[in-house]
Structure 1
Amino acid sequence: MNDALKRQYSLIVEFLGKALGPDFEVVLHDTEDHINSIVAIANGHISQRTVGAPLTDFGLEVISNESFSDKKYKINYNGVSKDHRILRSSTMFIRDDNKNIVGLLCINFDDRRYKNISEQILKLCHPDMLIESNNAYESVDSLVNNAGERFYDSAIEETDAVIQGYLNKHNTSIDRLVQDDRIDIVDILNQKGIFKLKGAVRTVAKQLGCSEPTIYRYLSKL
């Protein structure tokens, strides 16, 4: 993203952050820098991120997946913060003169305070039935497991989360992984676009306890 666009959209981030209030996180991503992708952020306390944080898994998918080539934005999907808070997220795709996506303008809404208030009001009317009928999802865990976007401070955290999810799902540990398991994990990471991040091969190799050439060999098989 060129400097003019960064200045223009950074001002929009600052404006929206103040106009919408502390429950709305506003983020500007430069998709040409996957590692230090966030160039402006307002109300970063919501996802616990700062300027210089990496592109999210959804951001990597956007620039890798041709299905987004003709879309202007994606509205109201679930995002998950590092502490497993469910956010309502929306992203606008910023394009250059050649229609390439060069940036993402994202808004993440933390509605916890509003849900708490609504539950307290419903309890005054009926303590159980109304709250149960107005519950939008089965559990926080169900949303976390199926989230459209997750927010991390580094590629290491992101790969850690994928690997730990695989270990939990298969009730195993790193030292018990066989080659097919490692290939499956590399496949999941590859589909998420993790290997577009600089140094990702080295990071994944270290976390899986194998060499970088081994990771490249797995990728060539995929």
Structure 2
Amino acid sequence: MEDKILTKYKILTEFLAEVMGEHCEVVLHDVEDFENSIVAIENNHISGRKIGDSLTDLALNVLKDEENLECDYLSNYNGKTHDGKELRSSTYFIRDEKEKVIAMLCINIDLSRYIEARDLLNTMIGKRNDIEENNTDKNFAENFTSSIEELIDSMIENSIGSKSIPPSRMTAEEKKEITKKLDKRGVFLLKNSVSKVAKKLQTSEATVYRYLNH
């Protein structure tokens, strides 16, 4: 059944990309396979990803807290590629007959040309007005990586970066706080994540497990 569902959405992936144009990347994720999540992708020059690449931090976060996910989709949130392109992204959740999320259909619009045009106009006008974006899901953001290793490293670095001091000078409580934050974001659903977190926080795997259990 799931294969039939994915086949249908693979066709939709091609259709949407053709309609939206080359500035729009369309991606189909099979969330049953974290490490090889992408099963279809069009206009992949935008993010540089390919079929067989991993899921994103947002997808992992959604799966971690799926029971509290009441919406059918997330629209117009911020995304960023590994080389710094700013995207406007939206994700539609594909569910099975038991309402479990089995796949995600994602649309990522490259804003590069629009940002360049805006900056040019601002230069000509001589005054920049900050206009609030029409973003219905402002609390969500997404970073695009190609592999599970890159995904784990990115999520760990982002969490550690929220502290103004390096791990070598952090207290046990601060390291515990980062570990809990990573757990909430779904990092520990991934293979080898405990050892990677322990290494980044300059502590032992046993200590990370202790943080998670208290």
TM-score, length-scaled by structure 1: 0.82
C-alpha distance in 2 between matches for 1:115 and 1:204: 36
Structure 1 contact 156–203 (Cα < 8 Å) conserved: no
- Give 1:17 deviation, angstroms: 2.0
Do residues 190 (structure 1) and 186 (structure 2) align? no
Decide whether aligned partners of structure 1 residues 198 and 167 sit closer, same or farther in structure 2, where only a CA change above 3 A counts: closer
Decide whether aligned partners of structure 1 residues 95 and 163 sit closer, same or farther in structure 2, where only a CA change above 3 A counts: closer
Structure 2 contact 85–111 (Cα < 8 Å) conserved: no
CA RMSD in angstroms, aligned pairs only: 2.3
Structure 2 contact 57–155 (Cα < 8 Å) conserved: no
Aligned counterparts, 1:58-69, within 5 A: 58-65=58-65, 66-68=67-69
- Give 1:204 deviation, angstroms: 1.9
Aligned counterparts, 1:26-37, within 5 A: 26-37=26-37
- Give 1:118 deviation, angstroms: 4.0
Report what 1:6 is aligned to: 6
SS at match of 1:109: strand
Aligned AA for 1:10? K
SS at match of 1:108: strand
C-alpha distance in 1 between matches for 2:160 and 2:190: 23
Report what 1:100 is aligned to: 100
Structure 1 contact 155–194 (Cα < 8 Å) conserved: no
SS at match of 1:133: coil
Aligned AA for 2:173? D
Aligned length: 208
Report what 2:129 is aligned to: 133
Do residues 71 (structure 1) and 67 (structure 2) align? no
Structure with higher helix content: 1
Report what 2:40 is aligned to: 40
**Cα offsets for 1:89-130 (capped at 9, x unmatched):** 111110111111101000011121123234434544x2x12x
- Give 1:22 deviation, angstroms: 1.6
Gaps of at least 5 residues in structure 2 are 134-138
Within the candidate set 197, 202, 207, 2:200 is matched to 207
Gaps of at least 5 residues in structure 1 are 138-145
Within the candidate set 143, 148, 165, 1:172 is matched to 165
**Cα offsets for 1:29-76 (capped at 9, x unmatched):** 1111122211111122222222222222211222232331x3211111
SS at match of 1:9: helix
SS at match of 2:99: coil
Aligned AA for 2:174? D
Decide whether aligned partners of structure 1 residues 57 and 168 sit closer, same or farther in structure 2, where only a CA change above 3 A counts: closer
**Identity among equivalent pairs (%):** 39
Structure 2 contact 73–93 (Cα < 8 Å) conserved: yes
Structure 2 contact 28–104 (Cα < 8 Å) conserved: yes
Report what 1:142 is aligned to: none
Aligned AA for 2:178? I
C-alpha distance in 1 between matches for 2:158 and 2:208: 19
Report what 2:148 is aligned to: 155
Decide whether aligned partners of structure 1 residues 52 and 122 sit closer, same or farther in structure 2, where only a CA change above 3 A counts: same
Aligned AA for 1:57? D
- Give 1:166 deviation, angstroms: 4.2
